[in-house]
Amino acid sequence: MCGIVGYVGDRQACPILLGGLRRLEYRGYDSAGVAMVMPDGDLAVYKCKGKVDALEKYLDGKATDATIGIGHTRWATHGEPNDTNAHPHYSADGRIAMIHNGIIENYRVLKEALQAHGVVFRSETDSEVLVNLIEYIRTTEGCDLAEAVRRSLKRVVGAYAIAVIERGNTDRIIAARQSSPMAIGIGNGEYFISSDASSIVEYTQDIVYVGDGEVAVVERGKALQVFTLDNQEADIQVTRLDLSISDLERGGYPHFMLKEINEQPRTIVDCIRGRVNPDTGQVILSGIRDNIDRWLGARRVIFVACGTSWHASLIGKQLFESMCRIPAEVEYASEFRYRRPVLFPDDVVIAVSQSGETADTLAAIALAREAGAFVYGICNVIGSSIARGTDSGTYIHVGPEIGVASTKAFTGQVTVMAMMALALGERKGTLSAAQYAEVSRGLLALPDQLREVLSHSEQIADLAKIFTYARNFIYLGRGYNYPTALEGALKLKEISYVHAEGYPAAEMKHGPIALIDAEMPTVAIVPHDSTYEKTLSNVEEVKARGGKVIAVMARGDEMVRRIADYVIEVPSAVECLQPIIVSVPLQLLAYYIAIYKGRNVDQPRNLAKSVTVE
Ligand code: F6R
């Protein structure tokens, strides 16, 4: 949420900042801005409401020949999206400029104190309070900028990733973070700062992740220095990022979302590579193997996650219960953290997060750690806060997910959970050899099956055209596919702004059936599984009330074809893996409905990828 970039080196900073902001626009696109220290030492700040395109137009004809600068793309928290609330913010005396991702929780108290000292504020943001606090401390306590940042942050409560520059200093950026991501790329005599390391990979693959409560002094011609808020020098670890620039481009697709949907046959291969032996079907996951005592001694497994990752976790719960016979619970991280959940040291808490930066999930992890539980991460982004803040974990390895609506991360998460349940179930002896072989063979078959599903994209696009008129949808599924129904409905809501609800098919008659009429389509997930007959009866109930049914069914199922109005055929998989197959046509249906409605699918209104605020 909010993208931040910075550059200091010998090149022109502005094009690098704008390029970085474009790559970070998925994190927020309410407003954008840059600040630079010009060669004569002047501080130039340019910012405006709207996307990076608007900023680029605004910059046209302005002097931008600086070699040091910071930039920001905003997802509004405090204050509406407008030019004044856009970042960078600068101190009332115009001496320092700052970009900020996060929320300063005690900003009201700090603001009143600064106002009492005569500081006049222009914006409604919490960020402007912080930049003025830094400047106030710098002038009243007579310290340099790095020290003023450190002292200010000791008075701040909240989450932040900030970068600060000052008039008259063309060499130095001060950066700091607490609970919001920040990476520093080390180039040849130059430094790049970003809230997402992938946005700077075209310049350098050598990345330093700034730790919580650390302040970095990023200075041209000098080695990077990092200090804790208590002024102790921190260790610097350089991580090599294994990403290519093509992972970050649309690769000929009109939208990242469509690219990412189509990547799934490959991302599943990447996810299972080296983990499922293609010859023997043997599953080896180091996160299970290396911590086997914690897993075997687990009293319970508790998944904590948000949004799509929460839906994947509902499937994870069923996988762990059925294959490992471990009691499993699924919690919204945002609810879990504000309850007083009962946790035991022999619980295993599994944090599931594509970005690895979701603030609520991070807070839930902290709670689990306090209780002494073993905390395991299922993340996509390498080196993310959750990946680094858990005891162990498994990456889903699906590559950067840039479309705001999560697609390939969902199928990767379910794939990882299936592998985990297999590896643990085998060790616990709760799976027969035949069950184990069936599921592991099922995993290996997924890429081809997904290719088959994607070959029907055009038919799904035609179906979407028919239903573009609908204002409400209901998605029904049972068992493993109840979470798939929730996920299908979420995809439609978030990118097409059409109201959609996912429901367990049999629950429909306890209320939502009253909604059924010819105007509200039902998407029914009816594969050949243990709930097939029952779900079919639920579909009949919808038809009997004049509802229109789009059925996602097993290839060649004549029974469903006779009952439903429209069908989407999918290959049959092992029951627990069927959600991976079924979710793909639901992603495509949502995508095409959004396209026919003229929505911006990669940047849906009000949303941003990676929710780093509470
Ligand atoms: C939906 C979506 C969100 C995320 C949620 C959690 O398409 O993307 O619901 O799933 O914000 O994000 P992560 O998985 O990054 O923790």
Q: What is the pLDDT of residues 389-427, one digit of tens each?
A: 999 999 999 999 999 899 999 999 999 999 999 999 999
Provide φ and ψ at 85, rounded to 5°: -80, -10
Residue predicted with more confidence, 427 or 610: 427
Using the mean position of ligand 1's atoms as its centre, give its distance from the Cα of residue 30 in Å: 19
> Using a 6 Å cutoff on CB, does residue 402 contact ligand 1?
no
Is pLDDT above 70 for 564? yes
Q: Are residues 402 and 473 in the same domain?
A: no
Task: Say which CATH number the domain at 549 has.
Answer: 3.40.50.10490
Cα-to-centroid distance, 380 and ligand 1 (Å): 11
Candidates 2, 14, 271, 306; catalytic one: 2
- CB 406 less than 6 A from any atom of ligand 1: yes
Dihedral, CA atoms, 330, 332, 337, 338, nearest 10 degrees? Answer: -120
434: three-class secondary structure by DSSP: helix
224: CATH: 3.60.20.10
Question: Is any ligand 1 atom within 6 A of the Cβ of residue 361?
Answer: yes
The continuous run of DSSP H or E covering 167 comes out as: none
Residue with CA nearest ligand 1 atom 11: 307
Q: What HEC string does 492-508 produce?
A: HHHHHCCEEEEEEHHHH
Domain boundary among 417, 436, 453: 453
| Cα-based distances in Å from 367 to 25, 116, 294, 301, 331 | 31, 38, 18, 15, 13
Domain-located, residue 602: no
Give the count of beta carbons closer than 10 Å to the beta carbon of residue 295. 23
Among the listed residues 216, 421, 463, the one whose alpha carbon sits nearest the alpha carbon of residue 303: 421
Residue among 309, 361, 613 whose CB has most ligand 1 atoms within 8 A, to mutate: 309
Best CA proximity match to 218, nearest among 241, 245, 185, 195? 185
Same domain, 318 and 356: yes
Tell whether 604 is covered by a domain: no
Domain check: are 254 and 235 in the same one?
no
Ligand 1 and 405: CB distance under 6 A: yes
Per-residue confidence at 383, pLDDT binned at 50, 70, 90?
confident
- Tens-digit pLDDT profile for residues 139-159: 999 999 999 999 999 999 988
How far is CA 402 from each of CA 201, 296, 355, 409, rounded to the nearest angstrom? 15, 37, 10, 11
The predicted pLDDT at position 26 comes to: 75
Pair 255, 134 in one domain: no
Best residue among 358, 385, 386 to mutate for probing ligand 1's pocket (most ligand atoms within 8 Å of CB) is 358
Q: What is the pLDDT of residue 613?
A: 63
Exposure of 144 in the CB half-sphere (CA atoms within 13 A): 7
Closest to 67 (Cα-Cα) out of 225, 220, 182: 220
Does a structural domain hold residue 601? Answer: no
Residue 614: per-residue pLDDT:
67
Residue 111 covered by a domain: yes
Query: From the CB of 309, is ligand 1 less than 6 Å away?
Result: yes
Instruction: Note whether residue 341 is domain-resident.
Output: yes
* Annotated catalytic residue 2: yes
pLDDT exceeds 90 at position 353: yes
Whether residues 229 and 301 fall in one domain: no
Q: Which of the listed residues 384, 418, 453 is the one where a domain comes to its end?
A: 453
Is 14 in the same domain as 86? Answer: yes
Last residue of some domain: 407, 426, 453? 453
Element (H, E) at 520: none
Going by CA atoms, what residue is nearest to atom 9 of ligand 1? 307
Residue 387: inside a domain = yes
Shared domain check, 373 and 494 = no
Considering the domain architecture, whether residues 255 and 179 belong to the same structural domain is answered as no
Q: Which of 182-191, 270-279, 508-517 has the lowest mean pLDDT?
A: 508-517
Q: Region 575-592: what's the mean pLDDT?
A: 98
CB of 401 sitting under 6 A from ligand 1: no
CA of 362 to the centre of ligand 1 (A): 13
Q: How far is C-alpha 374 from the geometric centre of its chain's CA atoms?
A: 23
Same-domain status, 128 and 277: no
Specify whether 239 is located in the same domain as 363. no
Same domain? 527 vs 406:
no
Annotation says 143 is catalytic: no
306 lines ligand 1 (CB under 6 A): yes
For the Cβ of 307 lying below 6 angstroms from any atom of ligand 1, the answer is: yes
- Computed over every residue of the chain, the mean pLDDT equals 94
439 and 498 share a domain?
A: no
Residue of 49, 408, 491, 609 with catalytic role: 609
Residue 2 pLDDT > 90: no
Residue 611 — pLDDT band, cuts 50, 70, 90? Answer: low
Q: Does residue 613 sit within a domain?
A: no
Q: E strands of 371-425, at which residues? A: 374-379, 392-395
Please tell me the distance between residue 127's alpha carbon and the centre of ligand 1 in angstroms: 25
* Confidence category of residue 327, pLDDT binned at 50, 70, 90: very high
Alpha helices in 455-531 (DSSP H): 457-466, 481-496
Q: Which atom of ligand 1 is nearest to the CA of 407?
A: 7
Cβ of 98 below 6 Å from ligand 1 = no
Domain that holds residue 582: 457-596
User: Is residue 614 included in any domain, yes or no?
Assistant: no
Q: How many domains does the chain have?
A: 3
